[in-house]
């Protein structure tokens, strides 16, 4: 398996990639990074979403000199792509002094002028706005050492050909040029021949989706709401065996810990685990001792898991190929399967790319409400009840019903038993009907889950202070507090639990916005 270290990248970049959780290069990165680092021109045919941004951004970061003058210019067809590329370069150059400026229409030009005046090494933008700055004299291209044309076919379709040629003609002739395009029509080929020198050509053919029996859906939520959406989906779907994919190792660890804290039987598997640990995790998952496997893409490849009912993308994968590999874990051996993706608003474009490249259709679903979850729990209870009726051996319990029938109607007796077993508290706005109390909670108290912990430098005093200040609850009324690495528990009087929930979910501790819910009991 090729690693990023095999591609000639610097130690600083390798550290940044490791912190981001990148485990192995995609095909376009594997083929494009070495020649770009060596200074060669590259023409790459690759769809958006195949990892091509890193393919040209990593060499740029490596080759930038300390001087604060524009040294790399990246042209994109849209402002959304310009922002995405600029953000990627910022992440890859973490710890360095590289400064990047995205310039595009629709943003106040004064902000861009300030950034350019302060000095930047990388400029990412749309052709029209780049030309605007050139004419104003606020962007000089005399020191440009590398030019990237990203999504060249889209730029030509949008009528940017004259702008692109004008910009290229103002850059030094000895510059390095990289051109990436999903298709190679005659106009793109002509442009490539005219403005590249002895280029190396690469072509990445995207893998096609061939899993028609898989039902594919997605939910949309703000990043801080994703965990709550995931737990509601899990409670409604009740998958017997599901794999939840995360983009990075750190995300997988954090999500696995959060799910365990909320009472789900979950295990984490990724590249940092020793083989013995991986074997133990997989045995527990195959034996049904664990219902949820939180995994990264690399860790899940090659695993023999025949009976996965659901695949859940906790975040959108980096490229369509990863999406295909992920959802291919369900619906095997002629079975039906379900693939669920949870996206944030900023991930819409990536999801659209996946749908276009894989020629698949993902159905947008409404986020389950608390009432939906409660209804699903009641249905699950009825299913379990039917199984008990089928099994029989009810004589001792029939005697109990007959004994109470002298005082109450048998239907009312059954309803009371159901209510007792389901532990439903009939309140109009309650989480207890879904999540219940944590194990070992003091009578009269409700245990709350907070998604902050030691890693956020949270202390008991911070939690007590937030409850006192935001919910108006005296500090002496707060019960036991347990603080872990990434989450915490606190007990509050049950009659104030809903008030505390509403208050805390609109505040922050140590600068981090809180996500608070009633703690789940261990299943």
CA quadruple 187, 190, 194, 195: dihedral sign: positive
Residue 354 has pLDDT above 70, yes or no: yes
Q: Which CATH number fits domain 4-203: 3.40.50.720, 3.40.50.300, 1.20.5.50, 3.40.50.2030?
A: 3.40.50.300
Asked if 367 contacts 228 with a C-beta cutoff of 8 angstroms, the reply is: no
Pairwise CA distance, residues 15 & 247, whole Å:
17
pLDDT the model gives residue 2: 84
Q: Return the pLDDT at 262.
A: 78
Q: How would residue 421 be classed by pLDDT, with cut points 50, 70 and 90? A: low
Q: What is the pLDDT of residue 248?
A: 84
Q: Return the minimum-mean-pLDDT range out of 107-116, 186-195, 393-402.
A: 393-402
Cα 371 to Cα 129, 376, 377, distances in angstroms: 50, 9, 10
| Per-residue model confidence (pLDDT) at position 32 | 96
Distances (CA, A) of 64 to 59, 91, 103, 290: 9, 15, 19, 48
| DSSP secondary structure string for all residues of 177-229 | EEEEESS--HHHHHHHHHH-SSPEEEE-PPPPP--TTEEEEEEE--GGGHHHH
Where residue 301 falls (left for φ over 0; alpha for ψ -120 to 50; beta otherwise) is: beta
Q: Which of 20-34, 310-324, 397-411, 474-488 has the lowest mean pLDDT?
A: 397-411
- Report d(CA 177, CA 200) in Å as an integer: 11
More confident: 324 or 243: 243
Q: In the prediction, which pLDDT does 314 show?
A: 94
pLDDT higher at 250 or 132: 132
DSSP string, 425-446: ---SS-SHHHH-PPTTPPTTEE
Question: CATH number of the domain at 214-368, out of 3.30.499.10, 3.30.479.30, 3.40.50.300, 3.80.30.20?
Answer: 3.40.50.300
For the chain, give me the number of helices (H) and strands (E)? 21, 20
Segment 384-403 shows an average pLDDT of 77
Q: What is the pLDDT of residues 435-484, one digit of tens each?
A: 333 445 778 888 898 888 887 888 888 898 899 888 888 888 888 888 88
pLDDT of 134? 95
User: What is the per-residue pLDDT for 438?
Assistant: 43
Asked whether the beta carbons of 146 and 175 are under 8 A apart, the reply is yes
Task: For residue 488, give the 3-state DSSP assignment.
Answer: strand
Strand partners, 478: none
Is pLDDT larger for residue 207 or for residue 51? 51
CB 299 within 8 A of CB 277: no
Q: pLDDT digit string (tens) for 480-508? A: 888 887 888 899 999 899 999 988 987 88
pLDDT, tens only, 365-376: 998 887 787 787
CB neighbours of residue 114 within 10 Å = 11
Q: Which two tokens stand for residue 45?
A: 């045919």
Q: Does domain 434-518 have CATH number 3.40.190.10?
A: no
Q: Check pLDDT > 70 for residue 428.
A: no
What pLDDT, on a 0 to 100 scale, did the predictor assign at position 461? 84
CB 482 within 8 A of CB 489: yes
Q: What percent of the chain has pLDDT over 90?
A: 36
Q: What is the pLDDT of residue 175?
A: 96
Mean pLDDT in residue range 239-260: 88
Q: What is the pLDDT of residue 226?
A: 92
Of the candidates 85, 62, 345, 362, the residue with the CA atom closest to the CA atom of residue 225:
345
Could you tell me which of 10, 7, 23, 15 has the C-alpha nearest to residue 95? Answer: 15
**Alpha-carbon torsion angle 80, 81, 84, 86, nearest 10:** -110
Asked if residue 46 lies in contact with residue 178, where contact means CB atoms within 8 angstroms, the answer is no
Residue 5 CB neighbour total at 10 angstroms: 12
Can you read off the two tokens belonging to residue 185? 């029509």
Mean pLDDT, range 322-349, rounded to an integer: 81
Letter string b/e over residues 94-111, b meaning 16 or more CB atoms within 10 A of that residue's CB = eebebbbbbbbeeeeeee
- Flag whether pLDDT at 198 surpasses 60: yes
Is-contact 155 127, C-beta < 8 A?
A: yes
**More confident: 28 or 289:** 28
The percentage of residues in the chain with a pLDDT greater than 70, rounded to a whole number, is 90
Q: What is the mean pLDDT of the chain?
A: 84
Among 188, 169, 172, residue whose Cα is nearest residue 180: 188
Compute, in degrees rounded to 10, the torsion defined by CA atoms 194, 196, 199, 205: -80
pLDDT value at residue 301: 58
Closest by CA position to 258, among listed 289, 284, 227: 227
Q: Determine the Cα–Cα distance for residues 27 and 203; give it in Å rounded to an integer.
A: 9
- pLDDT surpassing 60 at residue 106: yes
pLDDT at residue 429 tops 70: no
Residues 6+ away with beta carbon under 8 Å from 441: 447, 491
pLDDT value of position 194: 93
Contact 225, 343 (CB under 8 A): no
* DSSP 8-state class, residue 141: -
pLDDT (mean) for 72-97: 89
Query: Residue 274 — pLDDT band, cuts 50, 70, 90?
Result: confident
**CA separation for the pair 354, 314 (Å, rounded):** 15
């Amino acid at each position: 398996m090729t690693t990023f270290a095999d591609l000639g990248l610097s130690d600083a970049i390798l550290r940044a990639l490791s912190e981001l959780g990148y485990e192995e290069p995609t095909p376009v990165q594997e083929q494009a990074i070495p020649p770009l680092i060596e200074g060669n021109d590259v023409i790459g045919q690759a769809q958006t979403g195949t990892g091509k941004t890193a393919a040209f951004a990593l060499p740029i970061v490596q080759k930038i000199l300390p001087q604060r003058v524009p040294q790399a210019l990246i042209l994109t067809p849209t402002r959304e792509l310009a922002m995405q590329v600029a953000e990627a370069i910022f992440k890859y150059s973490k710890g360095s002094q590289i400064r990047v400026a995205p310039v595009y229409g629709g943003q106040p030009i004064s902000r861009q002028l300030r950034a350019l005046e302060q000095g930047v090494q990388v400029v990412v933008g749309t052709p029209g706005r780049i030309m605007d700055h050139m004419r104003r004299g606020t962007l000089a291209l005399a020191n440009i050492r590398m030019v990237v044309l990203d999504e060249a076919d889209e730029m030509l379709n949008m009528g940017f050909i004259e702008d692109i040629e004008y910009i290229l003609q103002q850059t030094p002739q000895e510059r390095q040029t990289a051109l990436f395009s999903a298709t190679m029509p005659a106009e793109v080929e002509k442009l490539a021949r005219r403005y590249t020198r002895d280029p190396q050509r690469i072509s990445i053919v995207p893998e096609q989706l061939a899993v028609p029996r898989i039902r594919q859906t997605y939910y949309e939520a703000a990043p801080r709401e994703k965990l709550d959406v995931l737990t509601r989906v899990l409670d409604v779907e009740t998958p017997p065996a599901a794999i939840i994919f995360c983009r990075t190792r750190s995300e997988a660890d954090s999500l696995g810990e959060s799910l365990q804290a909320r009472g789900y039987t979950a295990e984490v598997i990724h590249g940092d685990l020793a083989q013995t640990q991986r074997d133990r995790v997989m045995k527990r998952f195959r034996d049904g001792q664990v219902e949820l496997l939180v995994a990264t893409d690399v860790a899940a490849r090659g695993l023999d898991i025949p009976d996965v009912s659901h695949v859940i993308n906790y975040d959108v994968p980096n490229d369509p190929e990863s999406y295909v590999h992920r959802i291919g874990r369900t619906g095997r051996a002629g079975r039906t399967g379900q693939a669920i993706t949870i996206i944030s608003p900023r991930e819409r474009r990536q999801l659209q790319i996946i749908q276009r490249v894989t020629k698949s259709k993902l159905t947008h679903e409404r986020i389950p409400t608390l009432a939906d979850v409660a209804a699903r729990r009641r249905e699950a209870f009825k299913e379990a009840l039917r199984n008990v009726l089928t099994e029989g051996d009810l004589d001792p319990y029939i005697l109990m019903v007959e004994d109470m029938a002298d005082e109450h109607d048998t239907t009312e007796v059954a309803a009371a038993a159901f209510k007792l077993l389901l532990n439903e508290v009939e309140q109009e706005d309650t989480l207890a009907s879904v999540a219940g109390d944590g194990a070992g909670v003091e009578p009269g108290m409700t245990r709350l889950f907070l998604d902050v912990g030691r890693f956020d430098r949270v202390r008991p005093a911070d939690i007590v202070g937030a409850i006192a200040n935001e919910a108006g609850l005296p500090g002496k009324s707060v019960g036991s507090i347990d603080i872990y690495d990434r989450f915490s528990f606190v007990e509050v009087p049950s009659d104030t639990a809903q008030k505390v929930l509403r208050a805390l979910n609109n505040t922050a501790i140590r600068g981090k916005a809180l996500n608070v819910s009633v703690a789940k009991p261990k299943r």
